[in-house]
Structure 1
């Protein structure tokens, strides 16, 4: 999986970024219901950080599958006209307050444009695979939603293919390039022969072999 846990200053292809107040999913009695977060929309993902210099996101979620709209009913104070939300039928909702009504509308517009682009790029036969990916990302997002990040410097290691001695990339079918065969044979390859077809000996002292077998002539 691509390493998506990047610092706020490491993101690219940014569509929109800025400070928003995010409504907490679970806030304590003494804690604030709305928390200031540095929010960034990049590569179809919505990131939110403690501040613009944070190295780890507080949370990440995939924007595709959501709807975005203004939501003045989220608050009853003077900031109600600056509220907007992202909702989904099968995932949790996200509520935000911008610095002004105009800024909130710009967030809604930019995310709305992105959602249209994402839906137009959908490939039908990949829907099942994309849904599985969304479920995995949703589970990951729920695991560290608005909590301190963790060190993932070693988590991005990828498994690499093992290159066997003497092998060079993928071998072509037997017989098409004979030089490929001799690259992996011992030095005295002149005494080796390769079976080009299956052969079954009729007598007990006759050799049987299959296509592709290496046969060494001792004398």
Structure 2
């Protein structure tokens, strides 16, 4: 785990890691797909990442998860990414969203499972309840979302402790992504994370993820 004494130094650490990783991968691949998380925490990272000298024309940005709402809603992860990441030099990147309220949610998920490209890098966050992506400990879909044998990558979840119906990657899909980055802030989340590292079952979801992917690069700041 990489620990920092400020959010700024944490962001710099993540940026340096991503730049090295992306540069290396683009030496052998024609393009990359990077999935990012929403919420307020990644805004500083997105703003700085958008200014980096990356071959953005070869980068596709998508989301780890999304609320099933209109993309112009202030709570939309797509809206957040377009406002803070797909700016500056990153304007040249391609973007694929997850939400389309003109369709039934089941049809949207079917479309994503049939058409989404493979993801090379995922930048994940974690809630104080140990959820990651939209796999919440409280959701009725927890068992299905945590099923490591499923071949479908996207799932609908209905968390009881958060607003909106969600679409996101399930645990099976997350652990198959070649390169995982986890960004967390605050002592409360650090405590949750350290406890989760000792748990061998599905609670909380971040514990299941890290037990299957101990190579996840973790970046924490106070």
TM-score with structure 1 setting the length = 0.23
Larger RCO, structure (CA 8 Å, separation 6 or more): 2
Mark the structure with the bigger radius of gyration.
1
* Greater fraction of residues in helix: 2
TM-score with structure 2 setting the length = 0.23
